[in-house]
Structure 1
Amino acid sequence: MEKRKLALVTGGSRGLGKEMALRIAEKGLDVILTYHANQDAAMNTVRAIEEMGQKAMAIQLDTRNVNSFDAFFKEIRTYLEETYSKPVFDYLINNAGTGIYKPFLETTESDFDEMMNIHIKGVYFLTQHAVPLLANGGGIINISSGLARFSLPGSSAYASMKGAVDVFTRYLAMELSNKKIRANVVAPGAVATDFGGGENKENEKKRALISQNTALGRVGEPEDIGGIVAFLCTEDARWINGQRIEASGGIML
């Protein structure tokens, strides 16, 4: 009997993370997802995955709080042993995050630290904690941003952290090669979600600007991203490693 594969998706209750979790489940994988505060949304995603015939679990996690990671992975290990009789999972998707739109000259140290803690420090040390439980031949998908390639005013702190994620991912691909773990980046462009106050969904002036500067002529939607992440959680993607895949519809080409 073929082993059931399992993915851990941080920030998997809403928006892009929810779409990733659902598309991964469609590929026949079980899913553990984390949520920050909205347990109801997380459980709705769990039920949707279970309706597909896959196992799912939601765990609360604040990825800014590095000190919580030991307890989090203890809970993960217990769940894996009880459910699969082995404390191993196959894919880690570092998706959880928040945005900030603030000019460089108005960005405070607190703003900077918030972006750093969730987008690079949290990702760095959560991944470090996860690796002992990651299966040989598994994978890590880090979520970056098109803003690490092109520049739009007001995103300097956020985009700088995503640039760090791009570099970090290449190092993961090199340093985890002994376990044959692949590490890749998916970098969405502007997507219409509640992220960053819902700017890309509600601000019509910004939506028009994005559409005019995107080859495919529109703002992205969550369903444009989830399938790419799901693909990287399959054997079809086994030879993709250390790469940055931008999914932006061709913005700022």
Structure 2
Amino acid sequence: MTMPALHATPSAAPAAHPLAFITGGSRGLGRAAALHLARAGWDIALTYQSREDLAQEVVAEIRTLGRSALALPLDTARTATFPALAAALPAQLRDTFGRECLDALVNNAGTGIDAAFLETTEAQFDQMMDVHLKGVFFLTQALVPLLADGARILNVSSGLTRFSFPGRAAYAMMKGGIEVLTRYLAKELGPRGIRVNVLAPGAIATDFGGGVVRDDPEVHAAVANHTALGRVGEADDIGGAVAALLAPGSAWINGQRIEASGGMLL
């Protein structure tokens, strides 16, 4: 079989600080990941869908940590906008960070639904597919040419690909697809030294899905009771996991699914 040529990044002197591109970095897990990486010495380019105010707050906090940051609007369901983003990004990176390539891509942006299988509409299914599967596939395709050789890609999945709860079928199905994609990316991008892994959080106390894990006492208690460490996960737990998986010491981890759930439903 003849393999297609990979887009190689022109060689350049190593940057003083690595640069990560994080989708959905204005709140929740993306925000925690951005701040943990900034504390570890990374510069951050993050995206937001609608809340520019929250994104700029994250940018300001990153700058107080002594790192550089940039916030960009992006709807990851709108694949038609990706070529323009990729075309404009080098100049934006150069203006903010003094370089044109990325050292990491974190595909984090997402949304959820709560709908039983028999009640899930085609519109809901398409929304989950556009954001969590199609969007990740084609955004990664658009940004790979901007990744430095030896860079890392980290896709965010869900513990729901291992354990099942009613009402999450469409969401979990798309995340399962991302886990398969991760292995293929690791294989196809390996010649450039790009490592690709998938992080699967358990139930986390954020505003995701309407904040049910965070705000509903019964759900909160049930999750804690089904978790080996006896509590619900927090965004900082996942932010720390992202920073660990992108650290130099994790460079030999490749093509793997890593669950960060505190031992949920063992």
**TM-score normalized by the length of structure 1:** 0.97
Q: Distance in 2 between matches of 1:87 and 1:104?
A: 44
State the match for 1:173 in structure 2: 186
Question: What RMSD in Å do the two structures reach over aligned CA positions?
Answer: 1.1
State the match for 1:123 in structure 2: 136
Q: Distance in 1 between matches of 2:20 and 2:58?
A: 14
Name which of structure 1's ranges 200-209 and 59-68 shifts more when overlaid on structure 2. Answer: 200-209
Equivalent residues of 2:101, 2:148 under 8 A apart: yes
Long gaps (5+) in structure 1: none
Change (3 A) 1:134 1:2: closer
State the match for 1:103 in structure 2: 116
Query: What is the aligned counterpart of 1:212 among 212, 225, 228?
Result: 225
Query: What is the aligned counterpart of 2:240 among 227, 230, 246?
Result: 227
Q: Deviations over 1:89-113 (max 9, x none)?
A: 1100000000111111110000000
Q: Distance in 2 between matches of 1:43 and 1:86?
A: 21
**TM-score normalized by the length of structure 2:** 0.93
Long gaps (5+) in structure 2: 1-12
The reply on whether 1:138 has 2:151 as its aligned counterpart is: yes
Query: What is the aligned counterpart of 1:5 among 18, 22, 25?
Result: 18
Q: Distance in 2 between matches of 1:116 and 1:52?
A: 36
Q: Distance in 1 between matches of 2:234 and 2:123?
A: 30
Q: What percentage of aligned pairs have identical amino acids?
A: 53
Alignment of 1:37-186 (within 5 A): 37-186=50-199
Question: What secondary structure sits across from 1:135 in the alignment?
Answer: strand
* Residue 85 of structure 1: how far off its partner (Å): 4.7
Q: Distance in 2 between matches of 1:247 and 1:217?
A: 14
Equivalent residues of 2:69, 2:96 under 8 A apart: no
Alignment of 1:19-30 (within 5 A): 19-30=32-43
Question: What secondary structure sits across from 2:164 in the alignment?
Answer: coil
Number of residue pairs the alignment of both structures matches: 253
